[in-house]
Amino acid sequence: MSFLDYFINALFLQAGYNSALVAVGAGLLGLAGGGAGAFIFLRKRALVSDAISHATLPGVGIAFMLMVALGGDGRWLPGLIIGSAISSGIGLLMVEWITRQTRLTEDAAIGAVLSVFFGLGIVLLTIIQTMSSGRQAGLENFLLGSTAGMLISEATTIAIAGALATAFVFMLRRPMTLVAFDPEYAATTGINVRHIDLAMMGLALIVTVIGLKIVGLILIVALLIIPPVTARFWTNQVGPMIGIAAAIGGLAGYIGAVFSAAAASLPTGPIIVLVAFGFFVFSALFSPLRGGLASALRHWRFQRRVHRRQGLLALARREPIYDGFTLRILRQSGMIRPDGVATLRGKTASQKAAHDEARWAMARRILPDDSAIERYDGLTPIEDMMTQDQIDEIDRVIAEQTGAPA
Amino acid sequence: MIDNLITALGAEFVQLSLTPIVIGILGAVACALPGNFLLLRRQALIGDAISHVVLPGIVAAFLVTGTITAVPMMIGAGCAAIVAVILIEIVKRLGRVEPGAAMGLVFTTLFAAGVLFLEMTDTSSVHIDVQHALLGNLESLIWFDAEGWQSLLDPVALATLPPQLPRLAVVLVGIVLFITLFWKELKISTFDAAFAEAIGIRTRVLGFALVVVTAIAAVAAFDAVGSIIVIAMFVCPPAAARLMTNQLGRQIGWSVALAVISAVLGYVFAGYGPGWFGSPYAVSAAGMIATISGIVLLLACLFGPQRKRTGQRAEA
């Protein structure tokens, strides 16, 4: 079976029980990560989740050692998840405490917690490696994630926790939105901003600890950051943005897991991250709202309009035009002949432009507070931005001043 | 006790522990120095981002050159760091997102690409792997040919020093030179970028130069001590120093001292600590150094004389 066949089979969950399990688990994880990450992104605290994810490592180590000391199998996933949740919770509280109690800024607190907890975790891992008891193999897999030989119980744990996190996102969406956009106002409506902030980060924590097994603790933060950044390209509204972020996260998790099932030797975490990045690149280029192509097109159109307008005004004032781009635009639109003399069409258009310019100049004098003046970009015809009554008034004043009959 | 100390610092110490300690100190100080400015400019996490992209850099260098010699690897890692900084800037502008999110997006993607390249190419025969990139191999940088303290004066033995040591020393000298030469400019642009711009300092160029210096420090130190120490040393000693004083010069002095303390104590605890508990095995020196620097920072957070913001009262 070729790679492609296998990939397509796996995509429709036909490639065996285990890979279907992993794919669904990774999809749910991405869903929860994208949704929770959207709020953290809007609150501008994306990298706090990096501190949280690195801070899981000591918990994994201690949980393993405790479980072995109690005579159990050190690799029991729920136990490791609880341990990692406790230690990353401590890490999160440390970030909060350092930021509130000392003069250090949040980024310094993040960097400190991230590196120190990770260092401590590595120390514990080296201790575990020397332990005679316990089946120590496999803890390093939490660094980069590994789905090979995942157990049904582990997949179920991940699926349940992912569903829980998604439910929490749904329940807390209103206070979290409010806090993300306007913490001061949220506080006046009686919301405890600090608690909501902690809840937000708690969600990131849940996603992180359940993602350890699949994506690994170094890259899990990508599932919280890349989907919301990508979703931001497609909408300016909170509700849709969360939905899109969750969908992108879910798709990235699902496709990435399927892909790595088809190419068995490749680690799952990096592939999921790169799939998510693919969504980002596509959005950054092709989104009609803020994408690179759309922006470039808008810029190009605007530039043409400015040159056309300035060229027409110059024609009306009988000034020579030197700018090559302006000349080219005027020539292409048939406003001037190749020798630079205005055609009939050009004369009409230039008179209209000059008339429009004069009306705008008068509008600025007699209606200085009108909202259209504020919004005027120097190009739009006055008919598109003001009412007929206003334009009649402007024309009347112009006629009065030039002495011609109204 | 004294006898213990003398045996502890005897020929075996020179052979097995002296070079790792010195390399640890050099790496820690090389990272802590630029870390001071990053901290004050609220760019502390640039160090984090850079140390993540070192891995794709060395993998790319390996794919291009096919060797694992140090120089192409360091060039590759340095290039990756600069590419990452530029990408972060692009994502920030294009997506109009906060720097943290842009950073997180770029470094996770590059790191993922690095891991994937590593897995896809046949690098099992050569000595690069993710663990090595994260942990370094401080313990293995021993000085085979040393026979005791007198070897420090023996040119033949000195020639067999681990190459990381002179490399880090050169980098450290370069960083010290950069900071002394541009002391005034760095200081002004760090505290008041607008004023610096007004008196003709090219703040953007200087900011980029600082990032490049950071990248060089990260790459040189990473080879010897691994990413964890690099991130920890960029942040922890300068942050602790920030809580000790209000003067930049003194802050840098403090940060260097704290970095040295962390490196020495961390190495000693990692190497000899488990023995005090009756375990014959040593633990990861890189992890221990990072842990000690965290404890130092914690103490500074609790007792540092300047730990509060100006105007912030101690909470009752």
Provide the shortest C-alpha distance from residue A98 to chain B (in Å): 7
Residue ranges matching CATH 1.10.3470.10 in chain A: 12-266
Calculate how close chain A gets to B84, using CA atoms only, in Å: 14
Q: Which residue has the higher pLDDT, B195 or B125?
A: B195
How many angstroms separate the CA atoms of A51 and A57, rounded?
Answer: 11
The predicted-structure confidence for A344-375, as pLDDT tens digits, reads as follows 888 888 888 888 888 888 888 888 788 877 78
Average pLDDT (A70-97) is 87
Q: What is the pLDDT of residue A89?
A: 93
Contact A107 B45 (CB under 8 A): yes
Backbone φ and ψ for A139, nearest 5 degrees, come out as -65, -30
* Residues linked to residue A336 through DSSP beta bridges, in sequence order: A342
Give pLDDT, residue A10.
62
A104 Rama sector, left if φ>0, alpha if ψ -120 to 50, beta otherwise: beta
Q: Report which of A91, A210, A84 is spatially closest to residue A154, judged by C-alpha positions.
A: A210
For residue A318, how many other CB atoms are within 10 A of its CB?
8
Beta bridge partners of A342: A336
pLDDT, tens digit (0-9, with 9 covering 90-100), for B36-50: 999 998 888 888 888
Question: Which residues of chain A does B234 touch, with a Cβ-Cβ cutoff of 8 Å?
Answer: 111
Q: What's the pLDDT tens digit per position in A241-283?
A: 999 999 999 999 999 888 887 776 677 888 999 999 999 999 9
CB-defined contacts A:B, below 8 A: 211
How many Cβ atoms are within 10 Å of A191's Cβ, its own excluded? 17
The pLDDT value recorded for residue A406 is: 45
pLDDT digits (tens, 9 = 90+) for A310-355: 888 888 888 888 888 888 888 888 888 888 788 888 888 888 888 8
Mean pLDDT score of chain A, rounded to an integer?
85
Residues of A in contact with B242 (CB under 8 A): 103-104, 108
CB B34 within 8 A of CB B234: yes
> Are A7 and A262 within 8 A, CB to CB?
yes
First to last CA, chain B: 46
Q: Which residues 224-263 of A have a C-beta within 8 angstroms of B? A: 225-226, 228-229, 232-233
User: Domain B2-303, what architecture?
Assistant: Orthogonal Bundle (1.10)
In this prediction, what percent of chain B has a pLDDT beyond 90?
31
| Confidence label for B127 from pLDDT (cuts 50, 70 and 90) | low
CA-based nearest distance A130→chain B, Å = 7
What is the structure's pLDDT at A98? 93
Band the pLDDT of B298: cuts 50, 70, 90. very high
CB-nearest partner of B95 from A47, A108, A284:
A284
Give the 3-state DSSP-derived string for chain A, with helices as H, strands as E and coil as C: CCHHHHHHHHHCCCCCHHHHHHHHHHHHHHHHHHHHHHHHHHCCCCCHHHHHHHCHHHHHHHHHHHHHHCCCCCCCHHHHHHHHHHHHHHHHHHHHHHHHHCCCCHHHHHHHHHHHHHHHHHHHHHHHHHCCCCCCCCCCHHHHCCCCCCCHHHHHHHHHHHHHHHHHHHHCHHHHHHHHHCHHHHHHCCCCHHHHHHHHHHHHHHHHHHHCCCCCCCCHHHHHHHHHHHHCCCCCCHHHHHHHHHHHHHHHHHHHHHHHHHCCCCCHHHHHHHHHHHHHHHHHHHCCCCCHHHHHHHHHHHHHHHHHHHHHHHHHCCCCCCCHHHHHHHHHCCCECCCCCECHHHHHHHHHHHHHHHHHHHHHHHCCCCHHHHHCCCCCCHHHCCCHHHHHHHHHHHHHHHCCCC
Range of weakest confidence among A57-66, A201-210, A369-378, A394-403: A369-378
Mean pLDDT, to the nearest integer, of B7-25? 77
CATH class of the domain whose range is A12-266:
mainly alpha
Lowest mean pLDDT among A229-238, B160-169, B186-195: B160-169
**Predicted pLDDT at A137:** 56
Asked whether the beta carbons of residue A273 and residue B108 sit closer than 8 angstroms, the reply is: yes
Residue with tokens 């302006």: A326
- Tokens 């002495």 belong to A403
Going A311 to A316 to A322 to A328, the CA torsion angle's sign is positive
Residue B96 binned pLDDT confidence (cut-offs 50, 70, 90): confident
The single residue listed with the structure tokens 């490749």 is: A266
Look at residue A132 and tell me whether its pLDDT is greater than 70.
no
Q: Taking residues B121-141, what's their average pLDDT?
A: 64
Residue A78 has pLDDT above 80, yes or no: yes
Lowest mean pLDDT among A2-6, A90-94, A272-276, B306-310: A2-6
pLDDT at B122: 61
Q: How many CB atoms lie within 10 A of CB A360?
A: 19
Nearest to B241 by CA among B233, B250, B232: B250
Domain assignments of chain B as residue spans, ordered by start: 2-303
Q: Is the pLDDT of residue A1 over 70?
A: no
Per-residue pLDDT at A125 exceeds 90? no
Residue B225 pLDDT > 70, yes or no? yes
**Residues of chain A above pLDDT 70, percent:** 91
A54 Cβ contact list (under 8 Å, min separation 6): A91, A113, A114, A115, A117, A118, A121, A217, A218
Does residue A391 register a pLDDT over 80?
yes
Confidence label for A6 from pLDDT (cuts 50, 70 and 90)? low
